[in-house]
Amino acid sequence: MGKIKAAIFDMDGVLTDTVKLHFKAWKKMFESHGYKFEYEDYKWKVDGKPRLDGIRSIAYDVPEDELIEMAEEKQRYFLEFVEQENLEAFEDSIWLLNHLKQNNIRLAVASSSKNTTKILTKIGIYNMFDTIVTGYDFKKGKPDPEIFLTAAQRLNVNPKECAVFEDAIDGVKAGIRAGMLTIGVCRDGQFDRLKEAHYVVDKLTNVNLELLENLHEKLFKMV
């Protein structure tokens, strides 16, 4: 026991229900430019990626200056929705954060979102984390592992001592490539979407430190 020293959480869809706001903002932006955009497009092509990469996955041959304008437009819509709607942290996320904190596990957020600090502050959990990595803090977006390796470095822990919690396909791939135990958080119950994760749950009350330690032991015995 005692192999897990840190837990790293994606934000959107894991800690709070910003997914619906992101989807609405993406949809409004894409459709204003003539692109059809549905929820499946969001989950499979855009979710978890830096903004420009998300746009490129739908708008394949748009010039760079137009891409940037589209990204700024999406950001404006998203911030409008954040102001209009009541955002809260998921209760199961609060439970797990408290459980891990009580067991002296270091906590980090690693999100591609450049709105991370604003959102965490709004939902009242900013101060629960030992470090926060945002879209401003890395160069290569998920599925590249840089974002999670940056979090581990800031926490001063070995990547193998970290558990990652992700709800996006590219985020799961990034966690695995970082050499970390990777837990898929699939709140819609469509577990197949995150089948590459080492373990998948539909809510975080299905996770505790004992489970993470057991999964870690099995994972690194196999490596």
Is 112 marked within a binding site?
yes
Beta bridge partners of 181: 163
Alpha carbon distance 122, 88 (integer Å)? 8
**Helix residue ranges per DSSP H, 90-196:** 91-102, 116-122, 146-155, 169-177
Catalytic annotation, pick one of 12, 41, 53, 170: 12
Is 142 marked within a binding site?
yes
Positive or negative: CA dihedral 64, 168, 166, 126:
positive
Is 154 marked within a binding site?
no
Alpha carbon distance 197, 193 (integer Å)? 9
Query: Is the N-terminal amide bond of 143 cis, ω within 30° of 0?
Result: yes
Is 114 marked within a binding site?
yes
Query: Is 12 annotated as catalytic?
Result: yes
Is 74 marked within a binding site?
yes
Query: Is 65 annotated as catalytic?
Result: no
Catalytic annotation, pick one of 10, 41, 53, 170: 10
- The SS3 of residue 201 is strand
Alpha carbon distance 211, 134 (integer Å)? 28
Is 65 marked within a binding site?
no
Is 167 marked within a binding site?
yes
Is 57 marked within a binding site?
no
Is 12 marked within a binding site?
yes
Q: Which residues are annotated as a binding site?
A: 10-12, 26, 46-51, 74, 111-115, 142, 166-167
**Active-site annotation, residues:** 10, 12
Q: Which residues are annotated as a binding site for Mg(2+)?
A: 10, 12, 166-167
Q: Which residues are annotated as a binding site for substrate?
A: 10-12, 26, 46-51, 74, 111-115, 142
